[in-house]
Amino acid sequence: MIKALSESVQTRPVAPVLIALFIGFSLFSPYFLTTGNMEALLTANSVVLIASVGMTLVFLLGGIDLSISTVISVSAVVSGLVMAGTGSIWWGAMAAMSVGLSVGLVNGLLIGLLGLTPFITTMATQLIARGVAFVLSKGIAVQGTPYGMLDFGFLTFHGIPAVTLTALLVVAVCMLLLTLTDWGRHVMLIGSNRNAARYSGINVRWVEVSVYSVSGLLGGIAGFISIATLGNAIPGVGDTLLLIIIGAVVLGGTTMEGGEGSIGRTVLGVGLLAVLISGLNLLGIPFYDQLIIQGLLIFLGTWLAMKLSARRH
């Protein structure tokens, strides 16, 4: 049992830190464990969780997707405009996912087929997506969100927000794809050893196209969910999320080199940052001090994950 616990800590080093923070904030703030705060914490981080799953897939491949934050923004804006014009939540959802998938597909084709650098390519699409979001919305929140969408943002099941359940459904589907399908095994193999994957007959280019497409699709879903959590489609909704998304994935133990990590670890990373931010806010810690604490935590978490990974290998 002790050996199993030790192995669990080595593969998920964030878990004990998350538990410690949860207990600590519960003791120091009487408001931390309240129903209202727990619901607010889960709702506020649903968008980050969905987008972080997409970033995890890209990291496992050995790439990076800087555009995912602005994919959230442009998907939200297009979805908001469609819903305002048609009154249909369904068409709004389809619009958001179509926009996200389109941007992801463009990233994948440029990187996978043309061989462009992921960092530069996704930085360029990030800028384009952000510009499109502000042009379409004229720089203001898109009004006219259907009441059903607003109700969805407040809907809970046994204390768990519906938007969080949606995010967990996305997590479950992607975990199954990554662990139980040939596609998932190909992603991990390419991230571990690209040449070996190519020599084994895997079509590396098209796997890259598919991974970036899925990342874009998840960004679109996150953008759609952001409308429910905020009440309107906001053109800058994703502007501050990129570093949080990357931080959560890295903190969870998924390496940027590829082939090492999992979606489950990312869930823990998102949970850790969510608990940390909520607890620091309740304790009245100034915003800029919070940034320093978050940065130090990500640095220490990355260092620890590297040490444990080296020990396992």
Give the domain range for residue 80. 35-238
Q: Are 122 and 66 in contact (CB under 8 A)?
A: yes
| 164/218 Cα distance (integer angstroms) | 14
How many domains are contained in the chain?
Answer: 1
pLDDT cut 70: percent of the chain above it: 93
Nearest Cα to 247, choosing from 167, 185, 172, 305? 305
Whether residue 163 lies inside any domain: the answer is yes
- What's the pLDDT tens digit per position in 32-71? 999 999 999 999 999 999 999 999 999 999 999 999 999 9
Mean pLDDT value across the chain? 91
Q: Are 75 and 308 in contact (CB under 8 A)?
A: no
Write down the pLDDT at residue 17.
86
Whether residue 277 lies inside any domain: the answer is no
Whether residue 214 lies inside any domain: the answer is yes
Rg (Cα) of the chain, in Å, rounded?
19
- What's the pLDDT tens digit per position in 15-28? 888 999 999 999 99
CA 169 to chain centre: 13
- What's the pLDDT tens digit per position in 191-203? 999 999 999 999 9
Whether residue 253 lies inside any domain: the answer is no
The secondary structure of residue 113, as a DSSP letter, is: I
Residue 298 to residues 109, 203, 224, 250: CA-CA distances in angstroms?
32, 34, 28, 7
Task: Kindly write down the DSSP assignment for every residue of 42-102, as one continuous string.
Answer: HHHTHHHHHHHHHHHHHHHHT---TTHHHHHHHHHHHHHHHHHHH--HHHHHHHHHHHHHH
Q: Are 99 and 220 in contact (CB under 8 A)?
A: yes
Whether residue 51 lies inside any domain: the answer is yes
Q: Are 55 and 47 in contact (CB under 8 A)?
A: no
Whether residue 24 lies inside any domain: the answer is no
Which token pair is 242? 């990129």
Whether residue 21 lies inside any domain: the answer is no
The identity of residue 95, as a single letter, is A
Whether residue 310 lies inside any domain: the answer is no
Q: Are 29 and 281 in contact (CB under 8 A)?
A: no
Q: Is the pLDDT of residue 2 over 60?
A: no
User: Phi and psi at residue 161, in whole multiples of 5°?
Assistant: -60, 145
| 285/137 Cα distance (integer angstroms) | 34
